[in-house]
Structure 1
Amino acid sequence: MFRLNLKIALRNLWKNKVYTAINIGGLAIALSAFILVAIYVRFETSFDHNVPNHENIYLLGRTLPDRKTNYTSLSLAQALKEAIPEIENVGRSKKTNFEFAFSTPDGRVYGKDVITIDYTLAKMFHIKPEGGLVKPEGEALNVYLPQEFITAMFPKKTPVFPAKVSIGPLEVKQYADVSGIVNHNVAHSNLVFDALLITADVGKNQEPTAYNYFTYIQVKPGTDMAQLQKKVAAVYKEELKKSAVTAVVNRGSVESKIANEVNLVTNTNKADQSGVFLDPLDNLHLRPIAGNNTNYKVVMALSALTVLVMVIACINFTNLTIAQTNKRAKEVGVKKVLGAYRLSLVFQFLIEILMQCLVALILAIILAEISLPLFNDAFSVSFSLWKDNYELVWQLPIVLLIITLISGIYPALILSGFRPVAVLKGNLQTSYKTLWLRNALLVTQFTVAIVFMAGLLIVSSQLKYMRTEDTGFKAGQVVYIKNIVMFGRPYFENLKARILEMPGVNSFTVASDIPDGSRPGRVDYAMEGKDLGMDIVHVDFDYFETLRLNLKDGRFFSKTYPADAENGIVLNEAAVAAYGVKNPVGKIIRGCDMDYRIVGVVKDAKMQGFETAVEPTVYAIKSDCANDKMKFMVNVDPDHMAGVLAALKSNWKDLNKMDGDDFRYEFMDELYGRLFKKQEQLQAVFYGAAILTIFIATLGLFAFSAFTITSRMKEISIRKVLGASDFNILSLLNSFFIRIVLIANLIGWPIAYIAAQRWLETFAYRIDLPILPFFIAGSISIILTLLTVSFQARNAVKTNPVDALKYE
């Protein structure tokens, strides 16, 4: 019996080759997208899952009156360890603010992300250098580099460790021993580094109240996190108050004591206004408390869109299977008369559908393998279909069974439910009984397609706005020159004078930060009795001119006014608004233990992109509280760009004797453009989803309209005999499907509008939600419907009525 049912299934599939191909093709395309996205989602949601007890590790952060930050003080870690028994381990890390150069006579590499961690944190994150993790003695530092760094510096053979390498510029002649190779997948971890320094105690002999450390805690399994949060908050407030008391005791002069007693009151107030939070390690990549959740939005969008594509494919499959039920009616009737049970018929039809789904899955795997390079390029990943994705071996069969049941259970019940007497008499009403379901499924398909089309157009509009809107500065002809050393003003002035002599150079400056989306340091400033935390950018003369920021009031820094280099300061519009002062130029603002005079107000510049509002920012030439000025920027005339870069490269060693080993640069507009990467990925997601849903929905419409027109051939012939024109017939056949698509638009537009509105709300600077994308999506859906149905209807219009009515 099984062989007989298999033969019947194969014959039916072959007999209806067009419908079978559409069913299998649509499902294969959706499944290939599902496979790729499943790999991506698994990767994005499993950061640091190789770390033992990763679910019990938390990053400590602070909630301040105006922001959230992951930076904590050095003293807090030890205080938590001593005060709270639920905390098993506490680890700390600290970033460097500049690149490290590691070199040998055979090669040179630059570590952009160099971090120092303590031995405890290395154990928490399961760091395993080749040769094993060794606890450093005393104040020693064990330096570990990744394999690619070692290969670049020692291209001939792997050295015997510890291996001596040069640190920093070659002229400095500073050396260090590399302890070994560390194999850590930074692409899949929240602990990101190019080079790793491990010490017994991070920050030993450093200022205990400095807020530039990351603190991780590992709690005991089963810990009540709500209670732990309260205990950590209590310890944090005590440490904050202690730091102010310590500062008062340590300062000797009367003036310093008075100033620090004021700080004591200020810090006590801050303790009441601020708090701490515990951010789970599992959340840090996608939904960090102190950070943005763009990664999470992309993952959720991909997941939701892929599920919808799969739903459309299953709907398409179900719709076409139901549409062909009449062709199998007599087969079912005969089998029932011969004694077949309904359960056996359901099983038979499910086997047929399973066969189609299995072929679709095989094709999907092939399509996924072919599409993988494009997917990797779009999302800046390097996935392999099977490497590190062994779960697919058992997950795909489960997906196959689920799709078979979703797509086939209802058609199987319909087919097996025919009544033999009615079927054998030719009384078939099944098509009408299932008409409501087929129409609903078709509406659902086009609704999803319309949502995706409208979403794609809105995402593209926001991206176009971000690329073309005035950012408040001009990065188009600015070159960022990388530098790894600190220097004094006389040295920089000499370097600047020589570079300005080059034809085509408009200006040259140095600053602590560049507009690449990174956040500068933050310092508290007080003016007219109001104390605010503000971003601080450490700049030099010509900074504003180099980036071509726009002046609103006062003036920029100028060498004509020598005081600018000592206590001059420029605020942005956001800072002036935060203080609520009028005419701020000339007023005094205090921060970093000194008084500054405001010389100008610059218009707001979107240095961190469009997702976050411009922060209140101060620009100062002299500030002991800001990051060091190490980042060179040169504004070059576009017509001389190639010549200037060539001249700088050839003369760099002579120009910059402190750090002239390599001339490394990036174009500022390219750096800033990387801030849009995730949104461009989201656009790619919508683009792919829109194409897939439109294609699958059109395939379904093509097959469904072909079946509908074929079943109405006699009606069409009678109408032609009674005098109906070709246009009348085409209008009749199109009107039904146009109504379906119009209903889909009425449902899809509000869904797309709400989803787009919520997405746009994540941007501080965004477009007004346009109406045009909805009309464009509706027009495309109607045009595709007219073309698809008319293409099918042309044969019906041309058919001779005699051929359809000759048996009547």
Structure 2
Amino acid sequence: MFKLNLKIALRNLWRNRIITSINVGGLAIALAAFILVVMYFTYETSFDKTNPNYNNIYVVGRIYPDFKTNYTSPPFAKAIKQNFPEVENAGITKRGFFEFTMKNGKNTLFAKNFMQADYNAAKILDLKPTGGLEKPAGEVDRLSYLSEESMKVLYPNKTDNKPEMVGMGSSNSGITSKINGSIINNLHSNITFDGISIGNEIGQGENYGMNNYTTYIQVKPGTDVANLEQKITKLYRNELLKGETDQKTIEEIKSISTFLDPLSNQHLKPKAGNDAPYKILIALSVLGILILVIACINFTNLSIAQATKRAKEVGIKKVMGAYRFQLTTQFLAEIFIQCLFATVLALIVAELVLPYFNNLFQINLSVWHIDNDLIWQLPLILCLITLIAGIYPAIVLSGFKPALVLKGNFSTSKQSYWLRNSLLVFQFSIAVIFIIGLFIINSQLKYMRSEDLGFTANQVVYIKNQTLFNNPVKFGSLNFESVRDKILKIPGIKSATVATDVPDGAENGTNGYTFEGVQSSLDFVDVDFDYFETLDIKLKQGRFFSQSFSTDTANSAVINESAVAKYGMKNPVGKTIKGCNIDYKIVGVIKDFKAQGFESAVQPTIYTIKNPCGNYKTQIMLKIEENKMADALATLKAQWPQINPKDGQDFRYEFLDELYGKLFKKQEQLQSVFFAAALLTIFIAILGLFAFAKYITNGRIKEIAVRKILGASDIQIFKLINRSFLVMVLLANVISWPVAYILTKKWLETFAYRIDLPVLPFMSSALITILLTVITVSIQAKKAVKANPVDALKYE
């Protein structure tokens, strides 16, 4: 019986090979897209899951009235461990703040990400040096490791794990450091590095004012995290209140709290960070599911449409004693065969598309990886789509009544008719949403690329540097003045400056500042002369820093418009703002500029040349004439050992406009995904429409023949056939517009600076779907319209 049913199934599929091809092809394409989405979702949600303590690790952060941060001070971790028995371990890490050079002969490594960690943090984060994690011998001793990738750069022929001495900085610096071995750098983790230095303790001697470390804690299983969070907040306030007598400061401390953020949140949605990656992942997952649903709808629609061709087969089998369950199982098996073919084809398509997908998201997924979860996911998906796409058609086909179908009085039910039309409307509704979404994403990206940023990134070169240029000169830092003078002698260089930060979307440091008795937190950027001129930032009031004023290097400050608004200042130039034990005189107000991109509002910011509580000034920026750019960069590279001896021959740079452009990367990814999704949904919907129009047209051949004999023109018949489909497409637009409006409005609200929601994408979507429908249906109808009526009616 099985063999007979298999033959019937294969013959039936071959007899209707056009419909079968559309079914299998559409499902395969949608399934390929879904497979890629499933792989990407699995990848993005499994960061750090190899850590055996994954579910019990938390990052400790701080909450102030106007901001959140993951950065804490070194003593806090030890205090948490000592006070709360439910905390098994607590440790801290610190990221490096600039890229530095490591050398072994002619082999050079540019370490962009060198991290410090205490021994407890290394245990919590499951860091694995080759040979195992060792505890440093003394309190100040450090064990330094390079990632396996970095070790291969410096020592390509190394086969042992013996310690090595490497040169630090330029070749003539004479500075060396011991590397104790290599360490596994888990790229599928939030804690990645080129190298790491592990000590028993780090940050010795630093107090609660030095908040530039990340604190990790590991709690015992079953710990009440919400209760622990409250206790840590109380501890933190008590630590800050020690020795404090100023009543105003005491009240401010009481407004500070802490939070615990699970390790599982850190990659996609950190509490003190941007959750845009999480939103994009959810959007991408929904797109993948919808594309697969549309393909399943196609399958269901066409299977129902084909029902009449199987009616007599079902009638005869029922007369011969077949039960409905047996027929349902048979038809489900036929659908399973088609889904199996589609799955095999989908894997081939996914493998072909995967290099482009990996390039878009800068990842390295593989369909055939041995640890791939697709091994169990694909069979589950196959069974699921077989049931979704096949259960209703199988029930319809197996439910035919023998007496009716064998008399030739069979017709599909009104329920089937309405279901087919409803599914077609749903398909086009999804396609319309994708089209509208694509247009609006394009409009927002166009706005972001063309909108005035408030500064000019073109022709500005960011020099990667490890020399510290602080004012006053301290901790081995140098004065930038002599370096600037040498740089400006090179033809084509218009200005040069140095600062703690460049406008590339990175967060600035934050300190408390008081103006006329009002205390608040401000972002701070420590700069040098010509900072605003180099970036072409606009002045609103007062003046920029100038070498003509000696006080500018001592206690002058420039603030932005947002800082003026935050304090409610009136005529701020000449007034005093206090911070870090300095009474700063405000000498200028600049117009806001979008240093953090378009998703975050411009933060209230203060700019100073002298800041005892600030960071190191390492970010050199140069404004270079466009027609002299190549010559100026070549000269800089040749003269860099003399201009900046600490960096020596290792001259490295980036163009600031390219660096800032990376802020658009996530939205550009979303644009590419929506473009592909819109094309796929339209393609699959048109495939279904094509096959459905073919079925409807074939069913009305005799009607068309009669109408032609009675004098109907070709145009009238085209209008007749198109009318019902146009009604469905218009209905799909009406249904999808409110949904698209809500979704795109929500997406636009993630931007602080955005376009107004335009009407044109909604009208364009209707025009596109109507044109595609008319073209698709007319192509199918053409054969019936041009046919000779005699051929259709000769047996009547």
Shared fold, TM over 0.5: yes
For the residue of structure 1 that corresponds to 2:558, the secondary structure is: strand
Could you tell me which residue of structure 1 aligns to residue 474 of structure 2? Answer: none
For the residue of structure 2 that corresponds to 1:576, the secondary structure is: helix
Deviations 1:96-126 (A, max 9, x none): 2222322121311122221111111111111
Could you tell me which residue of structure 2 aligns to residue 153 of structure 1? Answer: 154
Distance in 1 separating the partners of 2:102 and 2:249 = 41
Distance in 1 separating the partners of 2:582 and 2:620 = 27
Could you tell me which residue of structure 2 aligns to residue 258 of structure 1? Answer: none
Distance in 2 separating the partners of 1:372 and 1:433 = 41
Could you tell me which residue of structure 2 aligns to residue 669 of structure 1? Answer: 657
The Cα shift of 1:631 comes to 1.0
Contact 2:469 2:498 survives alignment (8 Å): no
* Equivalent position amino acid for 1:306 in 2: G
Contact 2:470 2:616 survives alignment (8 Å): no
Distance in 2 separating the partners of 1:744 and 1:356 = 29
Deviations 1:49-100 (A, max 9, x none): 0001211111000110110000112221111112111111111111222223
Greater displacement, 1-10 / 187-196: 187-196
For the residue of structure 2 that corresponds to 1:92, the secondary structure is: strand
Of 712, 736, 740, the match for 2:724: 736
Could you tell me which residue of structure 2 aligns to residue 11 of structure 1? Answer: 11
Of 751, 757, 768, the match for 2:756: 768
* Equivalent position amino acid for 1:587 in 2: K
Q: How does 1:127-166 map to 2 (within 5 A)?
A: 127-138=127-138, 139-158=140-159, 160-166=161-167
Could you tell me which residue of structure 2 aligns to residue 409 of structure 1? Answer: 391
The two structures have a TM-score, normalised by structure 1, of 0.96
For the residue of structure 1 that corresponds to 2:172, the secondary structure is: helix
Contact 1:106 1:154 survives alignment (8 Å): no
Q: How does 1:207-606 map to 2 (within 5 A)?
A: 207-242=207-242, 245=244, 261=245, 264-387=246-369, 389-430=371-412, 432-487=414-469, 491-606=479-594
The Cα shift of 1:388 comes to 5.5
Do residues 181 (structure 1) and 160 (structure 2) align?
no
The Cα shift of 1:525 comes to 1.1
Q: How does 1:570-649 map to 2 (within 5 A)?
A: 570-649=558-637
Of 686, 694, 699, the match for 1:698: 686
Distance in 2 separating the partners of 1:400 and 1:407 = 11
For the residue of structure 1 that corresponds to 2:510, the secondary structure is: strand
Deviations 1:518-548 (A, max 9, x none): 1121111111111111111111111101000
Distance in 2 separating the partners of 1:419 and 1:188 = 58
Distance in 1 separating the partners of 2:53 and 2:531 = 48
* Equivalent position amino acid for 2:287 in 1: L
The Cα shift of 1:661 comes to 2.6
For the residue of structure 2 that corresponds to 1:285, the secondary structure is: coil
Greater displacement, 94-103 / 217-226: 94-103
Unaligned runs of at least 5 residues, structure 2? 472-477
Contact 2:511 2:523 survives alignment (8 Å): yes
Do residues 121 (structure 1) and 121 (structure 2) align?
yes
Contact 1:75 1:209 survives alignment (8 Å): no
* Equivalent position amino acid for 2:434 in 1: F
For the residue of structure 1 that corresponds to 2:143, the secondary structure is: strand
* Equivalent position amino acid for 1:571 in 2: I
Structure 2 vs 1, CA of residues 208 and 589 (structure 1 numbering), >3 Å: closer, same or farther?
closer
For the residue of structure 1 that corresponds to 2:520, the secondary structure is: strand
Distance in 2 separating the partners of 1:506 and 1:738 = 63
For the residue of structure 2 that corresponds to 1:177, the secondary structure is: strand
Greater displacement, 73-82 / 164-173: 164-173
Distance in 2 separating the partners of 1:106 and 1:497 = 31
Do residues 719 (structure 1) and 707 (structure 2) align?
yes
Could you tell me which residue of structure 2 aligns to residue 707 of structure 1? Answer: 695
Distance in 2 separating the partners of 1:232 and 1:61 = 10
Contact 1:74 1:209 survives alignment (8 Å): no
The Cα shift of 1:355 comes to 0.4
Deviations 1:238-286 (A, max 9, x none): 11212x54xxxxxxxxxxxxxxx5xx43442222211011101111111
The Cα shift of 1:208 comes to 4.8
For the residue of structure 2 that corresponds to 1:559, the secondary structure is: coil
Distance in 2 separating the partners of 1:508 and 1:203 = 34
* Equivalent position amino acid for 1:493 in 2: E
Q: How does 1:66-85 map to 2 (within 5 A)?
A: 66-85=66-85
For the residue of structure 1 that corresponds to 2:132, the secondary structure is: coil
Distance in 1 separating the partners of 2:640 and 2:366 = 42
Contact 1:151 1:158 survives alignment (8 Å): no
Greater displacement, 475-484 / 190-199: 190-199
For the residue of structure 2 that corresponds to 1:430, the secondary structure is: coil
Could you tell me which residue of structure 1 aligns to residue 173 of structure 2? Answer: 172
Deviations 1:613-634 (A, max 9, x none): 0000011111111111111111
% identical equivalent positions: 54
Distance in 1 separating the partners of 2:77 and 2:415 = 70
Contact 2:119 2:135 survives alignment (8 Å): yes
For the residue of structure 2 that corresponds to 1:97, the secondary structure is: coil
The Cα shift of 1:657 comes to 1.7
The two structures have a TM-score, normalised by structure 2, of 0.98
Contact 2:327 2:398 survives alignment (8 Å): yes
Deviations 1:740-792 (A, max 9, x none): 00000001110000000001111111110111111111111000000000101
Do residues 105 (structure 1) and 87 (structure 2) align?
no
Distance in 1 separating the partners of 2:554 and 2:12 = 88
Structure 2 vs 1, CA of residues 399 and 664 (structure 1 numbering), >3 Å: closer, same or farther?
same
Contact 2:575 2:585 survives alignment (8 Å): yes
For the residue of structure 2 that corresponds to 1:429, the secondary structure is: coil
Distance in 1 separating the partners of 2:672 and 2:694 = 33
Deviations 1:472-502 (A, max 9, x none): 0000110001101214677522221222122
Deviations 1:217-251 (A, max 9, x none): 11111112222122111111111212x54xxxxxx
Distance in 1 separating the partners of 2:43 and 2:483 = 47
Contact 1:88 1:218 survives alignment (8 Å): yes
Greater displacement, 569-578 / 647-656: 647-656
Q: Could you say what the CA RMSD is over the residues aligned between the two structures, in angstroms?
A: 1.3
- Give aligned pairs, total: 789
For the residue of structure 1 that corresponds to 2:496, the secondary structure is: strand
For the residue of structure 1 that corresponds to 2:181, the secondary structure is: strand
For the residue of structure 2 that corresponds to 1:286, the secondary structure is: coil
Could you tell me which residue of structure 2 aligns to residue 250 of structure 1? Answer: none
Could you tell me which residue of structure 2 aligns to residue 800 of structure 1? Answer: 788
Could you tell me which residue of structure 2 aligns to residue 249 of structure 1? Answer: none
Contact 2:75 2:206 survives alignment (8 Å): no
Greater displacement, 697-706 / 495-504: 495-504
The Cα shift of 1:688 comes to 1.0
Deviations 1:3-45 (A, max 9, x none): 1110000000000010000000000001111111111111110
Could you tell me which residue of structure 1 aligns to residue 56 of structure 2? Answer: 56
Contact 1:571 1:600 survives alignment (8 Å): yes
Contact 1:323 1:431 survives alignment (8 Å): no
Unaligned runs of at least 5 residues, structure 1? 246-260
The Cα shift of 1:159 comes to 5.9
Could you tell me which residue of structure 2 aligns to residue 201 of structure 1? Answer: 201
